[in-house]
Amino acid sequence: MSTTRDSFQSRLGFILAAAGSAIGLGNIWGFPTQAANNGGGAFVFVYLIVTVLLALPALYAEMYIGNQAQKNPVGALQDACEDVSRNLGKYAGLFGLLGAILMLSFYTIVAGWMLAHALSPLMELIGFTDAAIWLGESSHARNLAFTPVFIILGALIINQGVSKGIERWSSRLMPILFVLLIGLIIYILQQPGANEGVAMYLQPDFSQLQDPMLIISAMGQAFFSLSIGVGGMMVYGSYMKKNANMGQLVISIGALDTLIAFLAGLLIIPTLFVAQHLGLEVFADGKLIGGPQLIFSILPTLFDSMGDIGVYVALVFFSLMSMAALTSTLSSTEVPVAYLVEDKSYSRSKATILVSLIVLTACMTIVYNFDSLFGLIITWVNTFQLPIMGLFYFIVVGWIWKRGNQLADQALLASKPSLKLWGNYLRYVCPILLSIVFISVIMAL
């Protein structure tokens, strides 16, 4: 195919799209609850260290490979592994692609719940109380309706392409998300009980630092939050002008992702204490309730008890969640779509339809086997898929890939000591650190 590849039109558009992929349920739901249950400020502190030392370098490696190759992840890894074995690159790329589908298979279900919860207050406002109740209660029928709705929303954007779809929608939704989040924080912090939550969130309990699981949880959270390991960031990197300054871009994306996670903590944890103030149960066994019960039971009950304004707060909160989830699914969907378009000569719309059907099938398989599959797939993606791929990216950038890799170009490295240091860091320190953490995870299972 000789047509030119679609691409991001501006650096800001690229940053917002990549931040859109990064900022998702992991930030607004995962990060606050992990922080609350792992020593508050101490978790935030460890999270920052792990992000800087390992997650941002992994994000750099992933985006850099894509940017140099200007191809979808399967093609990009094939090129990067050329000197050793193109097949190695191909299968690694396909493994990432499978990870993207698995990530979508559970994430889209949860995203559908968010969307249903966002529509529920709307229905209440226009007087459709029965519909509002149905939307707010988990049911098979709701999954069967809302998982496809969410897949279709993502597909409509992906089908419009990179600049007209992904970039345009991320540039619209991310600023709205930010404003809604700030608005909610301001409102919640004025409610009785909120201050206690702020104190719990920000006061570090450094005794928890001795727990090795803390580093493991922080790393898992950081990789998931930065969307590392399924090729989504690689394919976004490939849509950026070749040789763009990836270092700077990665820092901006990491800073935005971490900022939103931090702000989400400032929303969720005080909200829980406001709920407690109103008599709701928010602790179980001395830990804050963090799972689905937090989002889909405690929060809605809290919003209900807030009086007239509660319905608007619920609307804003779940719209925020839905937007965050939507922009996060775009990058994972783009991975198989770009592969089908570039390597299998599909038209973009055919590829989008096929990928949507595959994701729908995967989602429905989970919906019908929820108890056995849902948790299992989340664990697989978080514990294995993301770190293994992260490790592979380090090995590719540091060891396997020679031609066209500035970090392996001896002449360039000799003239730029900082580049050499960075190259050696990615080559030696990162894979060793990541392997240590990864082995600890396996041993802790």
Question: Residues in the site for ligand PHE, rule: CB under 6 A?
Answer: 21-22, 24-27, 103, 224-225, 227, 230, 232, 328, 331-332
Given the complex with ligand PHE, which of 63 and 413 has the nearer CB atom? 63
Phi, psi of 204 (to 5 degrees): -75, 135
| CB contact at 8 A, 163 and 13 | yes
How many of the other CB atoms lie within 10 Å of CB of 351? 23
To ligand PHE, the closest distance from the beta carbon of 281 in angstroms equals 27
CB of 308 to ligand PHE, least distance (A): 32
CA angle 95, 113, 390 (to 5 degrees): 25
Q: How far is the CB of 227 from ligand PHE (least distance, A)?
A: 4
Select 76 or 230, whichever has its Cβ closest to ligand PHE: 230
Compare residues 228 and 341 and give the one whose CB is closer to ligand PHE: 228
Element (H, E) at 284: strand 283-284
**Least distance in Å: CB of 234 to ligand PHE?**
11
Nearest residue (CB) to ligand PHE, 108 versus 225: 225
Closest separation in Å from C-beta 27 to ligand PHE: 5
Pull the structure tokens for residue 277: 């103030």
Nearest to 272 by CA among 284, 289, 259: 289
71-88 in b/e form (b: 16+ CB < 10 A) is bbbbbbbbbbbbeeeeeb
Instruction: Considering the complex, state which of residue 55 and residue 185 has its C-beta at the smaller distance from ligand PHE.
Output: 55
Residue 356 burial (C-beta neighbours within 10 Å; 0-12, 13-18, 19+): buried
In the bound complex, what is the minimum distance in angstroms from residue 104's beta carbon to ligand PHE?
8
CB of residue 418 to ligand PHE, shortest distance in Å: 29
Here the tokens at position 50 are 């792990």
The pair of structure tokens assigned to 305 is 């008890």
For residues 26 and 220, which CB has a smaller minimum distance to ligand PHE in the complex? 26
- Both tokens of 130, joined, read 């029965």
Q: What is the DSSP string of 257-272?
A: HHHHHHHHHHHHHHHH
Cβ nearer to ligand PHE, comparing 104 with 116: 104
Compute the chain's Rg from CA coordinates.
Answer: 22
